Amino acid sequence: MLERKLLLLAITAAFSLALPAQSPQDLARMGWEPLSDSLYLVWNLSTDQIKRIAMIEDDYEVERTALVSDPKLSEAVRDTRLRALANARRKEIKGVLKAEQYEDWQKRTRVGGQH
């Protein structure tokens, strides 16, 4: 249990440092719904699930940061690409979560209502 909590803390810290300045509303508007460490605990995710989600988040964060940082992209193109990236991320995370965990995530965010 302590190992899982330390892993969650490390993941949360890494993501908070990697995020470029964007408001949570901007991210949510583009379909980038957060998976907070409190949800990991509520869902009682296994260490394997936590690690798999962390890998997914790491991979997509690199791509998201590159899109946000590209000055050549118009806002419309950037938003379209970010939405597509967010959809791909969500599908991968869905593959890691149990059905009831994913449904709960949808209820807690706007995923179910917007997508």
Query: What is the tally of structural domains in the chain?
Result: 1
- Of 56 and 14, the one with more pLDDT: 56
d(CA 79, CA 32): 11
pLDDT category of residue 19 using cuts at 50, 70 and 90: very low
Q: Are 79 and 30 in contact (CB under 8 A)?
A: yes
Query: pLDDT at position 108, please?
Result: 81
d(CA 64, CA 18): 10
The domain containing residue 6 runs over which residues? 2-114
Global pTM?
0.69
